[in-house]
């Protein structure tokens, strides 16, 4: 079996993972020093957010040099050493590739600025004398003007000019970048904004539905999203990857809602997997969750790709917080919403067991395993996400899910590094440090470690199929072969645990015989 079909992949947001040199910013040395932690956690691979040379206007998603490492993170030699070390620890490495846009400091854009209107260098981007009505995904217009009067397109920040994917230089550059990293041993790529590379010819106006704060629900079939020609790019890339054997893999960041159109990216000659954002967005309710699970499985089965299950990432409100809200459906980042973190944590524990039991691959975003909540009360002047400024603070941005990890100790920076941390951690994270949780068998970390270990050793888990059991409303119950069942109680009262030997539960089973499953809890059972 190919490893990625059922892999557990841990997302490393490098600047907030671990700081090796004490400057307050996470780096490659810090990650290397924690590889043992990740191996013991029980994941199969790491996805590392962009680590390339970047002015960091968008946390590194603004790349100035795709073939070198940003000095804040280390050197190219450090990256090479990290890849080797990870492999020795049995961890594969997936790096992030950012093909939709560069940084404004990328040599191509600098050349375009210098050479002026009408120059060949400008054709690698989308320069125009007049704009259309497109809005930036980060708020505000998607066009900025340069000194000579021309405008350039940027679907994200003004410092992230969109590349023109109709240009042969652009088409040729990325396969070459893929090879550069494949030659250094990476096991795959996470493709940023994968559905938006190709724009409709002529860049026509959108029908317009801008709400001030971009949401993740904008319609499919827009002139800047999911154009049919984008698939040619991935067929081309797949050929490149294929030259390196069957074990290298693509995962696409594809916010396309229509299941049939989503599945097109996962055809056998395109991407291997894609993030399942419909599941991430879904409320903590049995009916909608079951519908998303069924839809996901059906969609993927049609193209023979394994589903993935994602609860969180560096772009969305942490799910401990989301699930603590009356309406836990995720459409956009919101603040000031009443939140019950104890309930959110209970549900996050149950959700961890649910996702790890579903067929396919599973992603863990750093800090999920510690049960970290979203942090809202950051000083505005320390917020780095351009979303904050571009929406005039209407959207606080994504810094609150990117706060550096608490590793140990009783006070910030909680052994994140020797110095401080680039964003302040809440003082009450002293109860959530990895060190504290390791010593507590009932902690979120202990739950993740045991569940990931069971998932890895149990032949019923990972890739495969699922069979629903009849269950009362509000309960999700399914079986996997051989001899495994998962029951999730989303009602507000205890239910009977069905027959079987409990392997792990997200909350203590109740009753003298331990036969009752509490509300908002999940259990795995050995049934044969
Ligand atoms: C998606 C990434 O996950 C996000 O962090 C980034 O800001 C945008 N793409 C733009 O690259
Ligand atoms: Ca550092």
| Domain containing residue 139: CATH number | 3.90.400.10
Q: pLDDT band for position 56 (50/70/90)?
A: very high
Q: Tell me if 161 is assigned to some domain.
A: no
Give the rounded distance of the alpha carbon of 430 from its chain centre.
26
Judge if the beta carbon of residue 181 lies within 6 A of ligand 1. no
- Residue 181 belongs to domain with CATH number: 3.20.20.80
Above 70 in pLDDT, residue 193? yes
Q: Report how far residue 2's alpha carbon sits from residue 8's, in angstroms, rounded to the nearest whole number.
A: 13
Residues 402 and 517 in one domain: no
Query: Does residue 149 sit within a domain?
Result: yes
- Ligand 2 centroid to Cα of residue 82, in Å, is 15
475 has pLDDT over 80: yes
* Domain-located, residue 215: yes
The answer to whether the CB of 193 is under 6 A from ligand 1 is: yes
- In the chain, how many domains are there? 3
**Average pLDDT in the chain:** 96
φ/ψ of 102, rounded to 5, equals -110, -175
pLDDT tens string 330-363: 988 999 999 999 999 999 999 999 999 999 999 9
Tell me, yes or no, whether 433 and 469 share the same domain: no
- Kindly state whether residue 127 falls inside one of the protein's structural domains: yes
229 and 268 fall within a common domain: yes
**What angle do helix axes 230-242 and 168-182 make, rounded to 10 degrees?**
30
Ligand 1 proximity of 283 Cβ (cutoff 6 Å): no
Same-domain check for residues 129 and 191: no
Which atom of ligand 1 has the smallest separation from the CA of 138? 7
Q: What is the pLDDT of residues 10-39, one digit of tens each?
A: 999 999 999 999 999 999 999 999 999 999
pLDDT of residue 210: 53
Neighbouring C-beta atoms of residue 48, cutoff 10 Å:
24
157 lines ligand 1 (CB under 6 A): no
Three-state DSSP class for residue 174: helix
> For residues 242 and 188, is the Cβ–Cβ distance under 8 A?
no
What is the percent of the chain with per-residue pLDDT over 70, rounded to a whole number? 97
Residues 260 and 282 grouped into a single domain:
yes
165 lines ligand 1 (CB under 6 A): no
From the CB of 62, is ligand 1 less than 6 Å away?
no
262: which 2 tokens? 């989503």
User: From CA 485, how far away is CA 522, in angstroms rounded?
Assistant: 11
Is the separation of the CB atoms in 284 and 351 below 8 Å?
yes
For residues 96 and 112, membership in a common domain is answered with: no
381 lies in the same domain as 515 = no
Residue nearest to atom 6 of ligand 1 (CA): 61
Same domain assignment for residues 149 and 298: no
The predicted pLDDT at position 53 comes to 99
Asked if residue 413 is part of any domain, the answer here is yes
> Does residue 292 have a pLDDT over 90?
yes
Query: Pick from 297, 95, 126, 263: which is nearest to 195 by CA?
Result: 263
Mean pLDDT of 262-277: 97
Compute the average pLDDT of residues 192-201. Answer: 97
Instruction: Let me know if 377 is a catalytic residue.
Output: no
Please give the pLDDT value at position 92. 98
440 pLDDT exceeds 80?
A: yes
Q: How far apart are CA 258 and CA 230, in angstroms?
A: 16
> Given this model, what pLDDT does residue 211 score?
53
Count of C-beta atoms within a 10 Å radius of residue 393: 13
Provide CB contacts within 8 A for 465, sequence distance 6+: 359, 480, 481
Annotated active-site residue 205? The verdict is no
Coil, helix or strand for 22?
Answer: coil
Alpha carbon of 41 to those of 132, 219, 370, 445: distances in Å? 49, 38, 11, 8
Q: Is 508 within the bounds of a domain?
A: yes
Average pLDDT of the segment spanning 192-196: 98
CA 469 to chain centre: 30
Mean pLDDT of 153-169: 98
Q: Is position 520 within any domain?
A: yes
Same domain, residue pair 217 and 254: yes
What pLDDT is stored for residue 137 in this prediction?
93
Checking DSSP bridges between strand 249-252 and strand 188-191, what pairing results, if any?
parallel
Do 360 and 505 lie in a common domain? no
Cα(315) to ligand 1 centroid in Å equals 7
Residue 525, H or E segment: strand 521-526
pLDDT at residue 42 is higher than 60:
yes
Distance set, CA 91 to CA 32, 152, 493 (Å): 11, 41, 40
Cα dihedral across residues 419, 422, 428, 433: positive or negative: negative
Residue ending a domain, among 452, 484, 515, is 452
**Domain extent for 481:** 465-526
Residue at a domain's end among 426, 452, 478: 452
Please state the atom number of ligand 1 nearest to the C-alpha of residue 62: 11
- CA dist 490 and 495 (Å) reads 10
Q: Which of 303, 308, 278 is nearest to 291 (CA)?
A: 278
Residue 118 pLDDT exceeds 90: yes
C-alpha dihedral, 224 to 225 to 231 to 233, nearest 10°: 50
Q: Mark whether 19 and 54 lie in a shared domain.
A: yes
> What is the CATH classification number for the domain harbouring 477?
2.60.40.1180
**pLDDT tens profile 91-115:** 999 999 999 999 999 999 999 999 9
Note whether residue 459 is domain-resident: no
**Ligand 2 geometric centre to CA of 78 (Å):** 13
> 365 Cβ partners below 8 Å, 6+ apart?
11, 13, 310, 311, 312, 313, 314, 401
CB contact burial 168-190 (16+ within 10 A = b; e otherwise): eebeebbeebbeebbeebbbbbb
Q: Ligand 2 centroid vs 217 CA: distance in angstroms?
A: 36
CA distances from 196 to 65, 160, 211, 429 (A): 21, 14, 20, 38
User: Residue 222: what pLDDT?
Assistant: 86
* Amino acid 207: pLDDT: 77
* Given 192, 278, 385, 520, the catalytic residue: 192
Query: Can you tell me the distance from the alpha carbon of 466 to that of 304, in angstroms, rounded to the nearest whole number?
Result: 15
Assess whether 245 and 343 both reside in one domain.
Answer: yes
């Amino acid at each position: 079996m190919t490893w990625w079909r059922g892999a557990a992949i841990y997302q490393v947001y490098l600047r907030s993972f671990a700081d090796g040199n004490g400057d307050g910013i996470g780096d490659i040395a810090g990650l290397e020093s924690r590889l043992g932690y990740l191996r013991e956690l029980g994941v199969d691979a790491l996805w590392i957010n962009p680590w390339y040379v970047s002015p960091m206007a968008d946390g590194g998603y603004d790349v100035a040099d795709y073939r070198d490492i940003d000095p804040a993170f280390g050197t190219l030699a450090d990256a090479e050493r990290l890849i080797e070390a990870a492999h020795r620890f049995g961890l594969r490495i997936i790096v992030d590739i950012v093909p939709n846009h560069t940084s404004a400091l990328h040599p191509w854009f600098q050349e375009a600025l210098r050479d002026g209107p009408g120059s060949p260098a400008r054709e690698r981007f989308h320069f125009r004398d007049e704009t259309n009505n497109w809005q930036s995904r980060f708020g505000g217009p998607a066009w900025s003007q340069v000194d000579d009067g021309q405008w350039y397109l940027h679907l994200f920040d003004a410092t992230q000019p969109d590349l023109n994917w109709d240009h042969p230089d652009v088409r040729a550059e990325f396969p070459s970048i893929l090879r550069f990293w494949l030659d250094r041993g990476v096991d795959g790529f996470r493709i940023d904004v994968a559905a938006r590379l190709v724009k409709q010819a002529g860049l026509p106006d959108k029908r317009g539905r801008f709400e001030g704060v971009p949401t993740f629900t904008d319609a499919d079939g827009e002139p800047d999203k999911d154009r049919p020609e984008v698939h040619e790019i991935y067929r081309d890339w797949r050929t490149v990857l294929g030259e390196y054997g069957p074990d290298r893999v693509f995962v696409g960041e594809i916010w396309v809602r229509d299941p049939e159109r989503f599945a097109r990216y996962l055809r056998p000659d395109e991407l291997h997997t894609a993030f399942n954002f419909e599941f991430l967005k879904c409320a903590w309710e049995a009916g909608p969750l079951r519908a998303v699970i069924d839809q996901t499985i059906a969609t993927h089965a049609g193209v023979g790709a394994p589903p993935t299950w994602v609860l969180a990432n560096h772009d969305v409100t942490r799910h401990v917080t989301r699930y603590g809200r009356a309406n836990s459906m995720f459409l956009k980042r919101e603040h000031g919403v009443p939140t019950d973190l104890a309930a959110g944590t209970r549900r996050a524990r149950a959700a961890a067991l649910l996702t790890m039991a579903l067929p396919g691959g599973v992603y863990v975003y750093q800090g999920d395993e510690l049960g970290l909540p979203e942090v809202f009360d950051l000083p505005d002047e320390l917020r780095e996400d351009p979303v904050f400024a571009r929406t005039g603070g209407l959207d606080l941005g994504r810094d609150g899910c990117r706060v550096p990890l608490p590793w140990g100790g009783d006070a910030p920076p909680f052994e994140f590094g020797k110095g401080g941390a680039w964003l302040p951690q809440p003082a009450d994270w002293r109860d959530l440090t990895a060190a504290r949780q390791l010593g507590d068998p009932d902690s979120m970390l202990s739950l993740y470690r045991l569940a990931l270990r069971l998932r890895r050793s149990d032949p019923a888990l990972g890739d495969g199929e699922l069979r629903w059991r009849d269950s009362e409303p509000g309960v999700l119950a399914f079986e996997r072969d051989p001899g495994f069942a998962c029951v999730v109680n989303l009602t507000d009262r205890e239910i009977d645990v069905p027959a079987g030997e409990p392997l792990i539960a997200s909350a203590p089973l109740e009753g003298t015989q331990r036969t009752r499953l509490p509300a908002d809890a999940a259990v795995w059972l050995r049934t044969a």
